[in-house]
Amino acid sequence: MDKPNNWVYFFRVNILVSVLLFFPCSHVFLLLSQCERKHMPLHSLCHSFLMPERRPFVRLPTDVYPVNYGLRLKPDLIDFTFEGKLEAAVEVTQGTNQIVMNCADIDIITASFVPEGGEEINATGFNYQNEDEKVTLCFPSTLQKGSGSLKIDFVGELNDKMKGFYRSKYTTPSGEIRYAAVTQFEATDARRAFPCWDEPAIKATFDITLIVPKDRISLSNMNVVDRKPYPEDHSLVEVKFATTPIMSTYLVAFVIGEYDFVESQSSDGVTVRVYTPVGKAEQGRFALEVATKTLPFYKDYFRVPYPLPKIDLIAIADFAAGAMENWGLVTYRETALLIDPKNSCASSRQWVALVVGHELAHQWFGNLVTMEWWTHLWLNEGFASWIEYLCVDHCFPEYDIWTQFVSADYTRALDLDALDNSHPIEVDVGHPSEVDEIFDAISYSKGASVIRMLHNYIGDEDFRKGMNAYLLKFQHKNASTEDLWECLEQASGKPIAAVMNSWTKQMGFPIIVVDQEQHGSDRVLKISQKKFCASGPRNGTYENCPNWMVPISICTSEDPSCTKMKVLLDQPETTVNITNVAPDHWIKINPGTVGFYRIQYSSAMLESLLPGIRDLTLLPVDRLGLQNDLFSLARAGMISTVEVLKVMEAFVNEPNYTVWSDLSCNLGVLSSLLSHTDFHEDIQKFIRDLFTPIGMKLGWDSKTGEGHLDALLRGLVLGKLGKAGHKATLEEARRRFKEHVEGKQILPADLRSPVYLTVLKHGDSTTLDTMLKLHKQADMQEEKNRIERVLGAIPAPDLIQRVLNFALSEEVRPQDTVSVIGGVAGSSKQGRKAAWKFVKDNWEELHNRYQGGFLISRLIKLTVDGFAIDKMAAEVKSFFESHHAPAAERTVQQCCENILLNATWLKRDADHIHQYLLQRKAPPV
């Protein structure tokens, strides 16, 4: 499943330029401020601050398990209920007089068991354990070992929670409001659609029949094998689907609604369809192109064919995640699938390509071979989050997507994982309420980053060989992390398990400290590792510190793109001798920014590297990594923030979009921090000075020969200048906005976010009225979202309140309320306060809407992460002690830690930053 940013989901909104423009990355990318608490160690404070008790949990008993689910469902799209009949072929492994299954929000009418060749035994009672989402079917006599059939009649509700079997509201081309019935079962919500063994390791085949209105499209994992009139009601049809392969319940899906589609075949003969809202079939063409290129790519990469006869990709109006990889029927938010050739921006095209690549990777890695339990979720999501980039790089090399990976995933994961309230990649998961907590940047982005590091360490050929062995050995089965390591170890001959266990089983990552000496023509490096903490260095000896097995690569200025030496650092420290390095040549650790660690160079080594930023001899990804490391060291109090500002000024000649986007993020974090001071305007001037030269060079209009990355960069830079109050940018944005609204000159899609943001940031009630009118008129969800994300920029307190009220109105889709409120919180100090008050005042409604899902975590993080006052951490903690949000407990801990880190950073560095900014403004003597 695609995460939610970034965002990410979210989603993985880290890719969307408009988001980069708008939010400080502390909000969207989980980039978390790093500082030290004064009176007691921060790690002690935060762990005592908010440690939840784990709920007791027992997995389902194994005395009865399913072999095949025969499932008939009859949804009512007017009363929003459904009737269901389950006839499951089961195996009884030992005699029992009860069957325990998962069941939530479902009423069982009757249940019986028919042993093979025996008499039907009616259940005498249904004991619901609502807290654990289980039901025990009690029988008057013992069910004997052997095969049998379990029959259950049940009824349920088509809920509005965007999970289980739920209703999704849409508007027909004629303006009529109607509802589709759709599913979202990951992680533990198939039990809301039918009683089942809702654990990933309990696989079975499925025969699904849907009884639906005859004028509706009905889809499921497999192709339709029969469609006939329903005898009891001639307005309905009975649609029967082919038997699925053996699969986990969370991958089952069905959709009933009104859709158009475009269709093609991949070069290896798989039928691919993209389903869109009625009248928007052409908006599915781009995703269709990506999907038909991607399926053969994965078939070749894994050397395993796609195992189903068809794959459908469908845009769902109300959808919490970015997308979901249901086998053969992948569901998406509209903004993650639909592209309008005229009105979609470059970042949206890239986003759709990545999400399609991610979900199709799961068809093999996750669906064909499935994690044994949610502890291994990272294996699904981390792998798909890595290979989506490999796939997009294959389809669209012009995107320079691997450089973007470093800014979008790698640095985001480092920032979250530096917190004391992070968690290991592999985290024990018990109760269902804990599963949603780990759909985060550790499972996805750190998972992807360590797989990228592993791929680099093994080499592509051995990596593919090991992947092929893994998929063939475990196809249609379940596997654990250790199973993958074993296959990769056999393929490569390297100690994969030993290396990778240090990255997946313990929290955090190292900072690599490097110093050097010149010995004749040789350079001797002293390299050591210790845990990097957001709150700064901890006292302690190497003996009691965690250790990692760190693959370290080294290059020199002689050839920055070529690795001169590789070492595996498996001790606290080591010495490395590099031959034939001239005294005036620089040494760079971690070329390509592949290893998952921060680096602290000695002063002399750093000084020798910095000119490589200005003259561009360092590769873009290394310029980005160097700056990002320094920024994190500053937040952790290991160097002064002023030193980083000086380094940032060296980027004045920078041409690369991704480097600018990472700089923009970090400046957003700093701007958010300094909004708590009375010299916030001074950092805006710094931003204007830094971005003006590249803004002047790019101009407003695209030039002949420009490509995808130029469009992204222009949007980013103009938005940054406009938000910071650059006069010429503001004037031009207002002029173009006026022409756009009047219909004289429609804004190109790539300029809409920066223009909307700029006019709102410096706008009034008329501006807001105009923007809300544009929102109402917008036919594309992408355009609606574009507007929703920037509305919070409006400065006046009464207008901020209007935007917050709008967030909960019928005008905003339920999943998008979060980004409207987050937009307010990320816009200003006043917005942050107003958004937090709004969330508290409307908590019951918001929690009821998102409970048990990761959107509640997203909402909390976006709302409170930017505070920088100690007492706010106490206030947040106190609120959530009395307003429990089980799916967000870890997020609340992280936010409280983050607020304390922000507060310490501000106390430590604010005066120095202020003095530096004043000195920059002072006229030369």
Q: Does residue 319 belong to any structural domain of this protein?
A: yes
Q: Residue 175 has what pLDDT?
A: 87
Q: Is 622 helix (H, G, I), strand (E, B) or coil?
A: helix
Q: Residue 886 has what pLDDT?
A: 83
The answer on 856 and 808 residing in a single domain is yes
Q: Does residue 289 belong to any structural domain of this protein?
A: yes
Question: Closest Cα to residue 890, out of 54, 162, 59?
Answer: 54
pTM: 0.91
Q: Residue 922 has what pLDDT?
A: 67
Give the model's confidence band at 427: pLDDT under 50 very low, under 70 low, under 90 confident, else very high: confident
Which of 241, 257, 273 is the endpoint of a domain?
257
The more confidently predicted of residues 41 and 761 is 761
The answer on 620 and 598 residing in a single domain is yes
Give the model's confidence band at 469: pLDDT under 50 very low, under 70 low, under 90 confident, else very high: very high
* Each residue's pLDDT tens digit, 376-386: 888 889 999 99
Q: Does residue 12 belong to any structural domain of this protein?
A: no
Overall domain count for the chain: 5
Rounded mean pLDDT of 166-189? 93
Give the model's confidence band at 873: pLDDT under 50 very low, under 70 low, under 90 confident, else very high: very high
Give the pair of three-digit tokens for residue 6. Answer: 């970034």
The more confidently predicted of residues 747 and 884 is 747
Q: Residue 237 has what pLDDT?
A: 97
Average pLDDT, rounded, for the chain: 91
* Each residue's pLDDT tens digit, 849-860: 887 678 899 999
The answer on 207 and 136 residing in a single domain is yes
The answer on 320 and 230 residing in a single domain is no
The answer on 496 and 448 residing in a single domain is yes
Where residue 133 falls (left for φ over 0; alpha for ψ -120 to 50; beta otherwise) is: left
Which of 371, 390, 410 is the endpoint of a domain?
371
Q: In this model, does residue 2 exceed pLDDT 60? A: yes
Where in the sequence numbering do the catalytic residues fall? 359
* Each residue's pLDDT tens digit, 252-290: 999 999 999 999 999 989 999 999 999 999 999 999 999
The answer on 243 and 274 residing in a single domain is no
User: Is the alpha carbon torsion for 718, 631, 421, 437 positive or negative?
Assistant: positive
Q: Does residue 595 belong to any structural domain of this protein?
A: yes
Q: Does residue 182 belong to any structural domain of this protein?
A: yes
Q: What sections of 791-921 are H helices per DSSP? A: 797-807, 817-825, 829-841, 843-850, 854-864, 870-882, 889-921
* Each residue's pLDDT tens digit, 496-519: 999 999 999 999 999 999 999 999
* Each residue's pLDDT tens digit, 73-104: 999 999 999 999 999 999 999 999 999 999 99
The answer on 462 and 575 residing in a single domain is no
Give the model's confidence band at 545: pLDDT under 50 very low, under 70 low, under 90 confident, else very high: confident
* Each residue's pLDDT tens digit, 701-737: 999 999 999 999 999 999 999 999 999 999 999 999 9
Q: Does residue 685 belong to any structural domain of this protein?
A: no
Domain that holds residue 829: 774-779+797-924
Q: Residue 42 has what pLDDT?
A: 35
The answer on 231 and 133 residing in a single domain is yes
Q: Does residue 735 belong to any structural domain of this protein?
A: no
Q: In this model, does residue 37 exceed pLDDT 90? A: no
Which of 639, 660, 679 is the endpoint of a domain?
639
Nearest 10 degrees: Cα torsion 399, 403, 407, 411:
150
Instruction: Identify the CATH number of the domain in which residue 899 sits.
Output: 1.25.50.20
Share of the chain above pLDDT 90, in %: 84
Are the CB atoms for 207 and 70 separated by under 8 Å? yes
Specify binding-site residues for Zn(2+). 358, 362, 381
Element (H, E) at 434: helix 432-435
Give the model's confidence band at 121: pLDDT under 50 very low, under 70 low, under 90 confident, else very high: very high
The answer on 273 and 252 residing in a single domain is no
Q: In this model, does residue 432 exceed pLDDT 90? A: no
Question: Closest Cα to residue 6, out of 545, 513, 402, 407?
Answer: 407
Rounded mean pLDDT of 403-415? 95
Specify binding-site residues. 358, 362, 381
**Pairing status of strand 329-333 against strand 310-316:** parallel
Q: Does residue 791 belong to any structural domain of this protein?
A: no
Instruction: Identify the CATH number of the domain in which residue 364 sits.
Output: 1.10.390.10
* Each residue's pLDDT tens digit, 692-703: 999 999 999 999
Q: In this model, does residue 456 exceed pLDDT 80? A: yes
Instruction: Identify the CATH number of the domain in which residue 75 sits.
Output: 2.60.40.1730
The answer on 862 and 843 residing in a single domain is yes
Q: Return the ∠ at Cα 479 (arms to 420 and 56), rounded to 5°.
A: 50
What is the crossing angle of helices 657-674 and 708-723, to 10°? 20
Q: Residue 47 has what pLDDT?
A: 38
The answer on 273 and 212 residing in a single domain is no
The answer on 492 and 362 residing in a single domain is no
Amino acid occupying residue 734: R
Rounded mean pLDDT of 435-451? 86
